[in-house]
Amino acid sequence: MAEPKFRAPKGTRDILPPESARRRALVEVFADRASRSGFGEVVSPMFEDMGVFKRVGESTDIVTKEMFDLYDKGDPPQHLALRPELTASICRAFAEHRPVPPWKVWYEGPQFRYEQPQAGRYRQFTQVGVELLGTDDPQADVDVIALGAGFFSSVGLSRVRLLINSLGDPQCRPAYMEALKSYLESRGSDLSPQSQVTLERNPLRVLDSKRRADQPIIDSAPLMVDFLSAESAEHFETVRSGLDALGIEFDISPRLVRGLDYYTRTTFEFAAESLESSQNAVGGGGRYDGLVEDLGGPPTPGIGFALGIDRILMACDSEQVFPQPPPALDVFVVDVTGGPHALSVCDALRGRGLGADRAYGGRSMKAQMKLADRSGAPFAVIIGEDEVASGEVTLRDMRGDSGQRRVPLAALAGEIRHLLSPKQER
Ligand code: AMP
C-alpha cells in the first residue's frame, strides 16, 4: 500500500469503529451515573482566553510548556488556548452565568496538551468529569469521590486504587511551604537539575517529580498533613470517615500534590494497578476553593475530578472487562432483485425503531450474505423476485436459533421484535 500523503498529527489518533462504539458506551456509563447523582451536563468551548488557564497554573508544566495557544484574527488579536483541562472552563462559566449554587455539572470532551507522546499519553485525549461548586461541606467531597469510585466498579474494573491527601488551606499552607522550601533548598545540589528549576517556581511541584535522583529527597520531605490547620484536619477526617462508612477503600498518600496549582484541602487520584506505573493515573481531582474567585466570580468553594477515557479503556483491556458493545444492527437486508426494495424495507424497519443496514451496488447474493454475516446483525432479510411477487420476505436467523422462513412484509418488524424479545432469547 502506498504511503498516505497525510497522517493524524503527532500525539493524536483516529478512533475508528468498532472501538469508537466502546468508547461511547463508556462515556454513557459515566453520564448515567453522573445524572443519577444530580449532575447536569455542561458543554463549553474547546478554546478559551489564555488568561483563564494562566490563572490556574502559572507554575505548572501544563500551563507553561504544554499549551496549544493561538492568536485569532481580531484587531487587536485575542490570545486563545485549546483547553488542557475543564475545571478552569467550568469555573469561568460559573463566574460568567452565576447559577444558583450548589451547581453540579458533568462534562465530556477532548483536552489538548503538548506532551511527549507515549503509550497512554497523547496530545489530544478525552476526559469525563464532574464539578460541584458552591459548598465546602466535606460530605460533598465524599459524594464526588464515591461517584468516581462507583463508576470504575460499574465498568467492571476492580484493580483501581484510590489515593487521597489534604493540601491544606490558605491559613496553613504558607507555613508548610516555608518548611518544604527550606528543606529542599538544604538538599538543593542533590536534586535533579529540573527539580532545582521547579523549586524556584513552586516547591510543592518538586514532590511530583518522578526522577530517580529526587526520590530519596522527596521521601524525607516534610509532609502537609503535619501542618494542617484544625479546620483542614477536621475536614480531612470527615472525608476519610465518610469514605469508610460507604465501604470505599483508599490509601492516604501524603505526597500526592497533583499537576495544577489550584488545589486546596482534599486531593485524590485513581491509579490503575493493571497499567504501567508511569502512566497508571486514570483520574484525579480535588478541592479548589479559591478558583472561581481567581477567575472574577464570587467566593465559591468547589470540588471535582477528571478521568482519562483513553487510559480507562487501556485498563479495561488489561483487566479484560467492558467488552465491545453488541452491534446496533438487528437486520441486514439482502436484496437480489436489483430494485429499490432494500431502500424501502430498511426505511420501514428503522422507522419502527429497529437497526437495519444493506449492501450497495447490486452485488451478488453471496457477496451480500457475506456482508450480512460481517455486520453482526442477528437477522437477515432476503428479498428475491419470488418474495416480491408474494408480498413477503425471507427472514433468516443468523444466530441459527430459528432457521429461515417466509414472513409477510407487513408483519416483518413485529416478527423481528418478537424474536428479539428476551423471552425468545432464553
Ligand atoms: P489531570 O487533568 O492532569 O489531573 O488528568 C486527569 C486524567 O486525565 C489523568 O489521570 C489521565 O487519566 C488523563 N490524562 C491526563 N493527561 C493525559 C494525556 N496526555 N493523555 C492521555 N490521558 C491523559
Nearest to 310 by CA among 154, 142, 127, 188: 127
Lookup: cell for 19: 472501538
Q: Provide mean pLDDT across the span 218-231.
A: 94
Mutate which of 258, 307, 312 for ligand 1 pocket (most atoms within 8 A of beta carbon): 307
Does residue 198 surpass a pLDDT of 90? no
Give distance in angstroms: CA of 113 to centre of ligand 1.
9
pLDDT at 149: 98
pLDDT at 426: 42
The binding-site residues of ligand 1, defined as CB within 6 angstroms of any ligand atom, are: 85, 113, 115, 120-122, 125, 127, 259, 281-284, 306, 308, 310-311
Cα angle value 392/398/399 (rounded, 5°): 135
pLDDT tens per residue, range 275-296: 988 889 999 999 998 889 989 9
Q: Cell 511551604 identifies what position?
A: 177
In the chain, where the domains are located = 19-172+228-319, 331-417
Nearest protein CA to atom 17 of ligand 1, as residue: 121
**CB–CB of 156/231 below 8 Å?**
no
Which band of pLDDT confidence, cut at 50, 70 and 90, is reported for residue 261? low
Nearest protein CA to atom 16 of ligand 1, as residue: 121
Cα dihedral: 329, 335, 340, 344 (round 10): -30
Q: Which atom of ligand 1 lies at the shortest distance from residue 307's CA?
A: 7
**CB–CB of 34/305 below 8 Å?**
no
Does residue 425 surpass a pLDDT of 70? no
Does residue 403 surpass a pLDDT of 60? yes
pLDDT tens per residue, range 68-123: 999 999 999 999 999 999 999 999 999 999 999 999 999 999 999 999 999 999 99
Nearest protein CA to atom 14 of ligand 1, as residue: 308
Fold type of domain 19-172+228-319: BirA Bifunctional Protein; domain 2 (3.30.930)
Which band of pLDDT confidence, cut at 50, 70 and 90, is reported for residue 234? very high
pLDDT tens per residue, range 5-26: 999 999 999 999 999 999 999 9
Q: Provide mean pLDDT across the span 314-319.
A: 98
Domain 331-417 has CATH 3.60.9.10: no
Distance CA 137, CA 238 (A): 9
Does residue 253 surpass a pLDDT of 90? yes
pLDDT tens per residue, range 135-162: 999 999 999 999 999 999 999 999 999 9
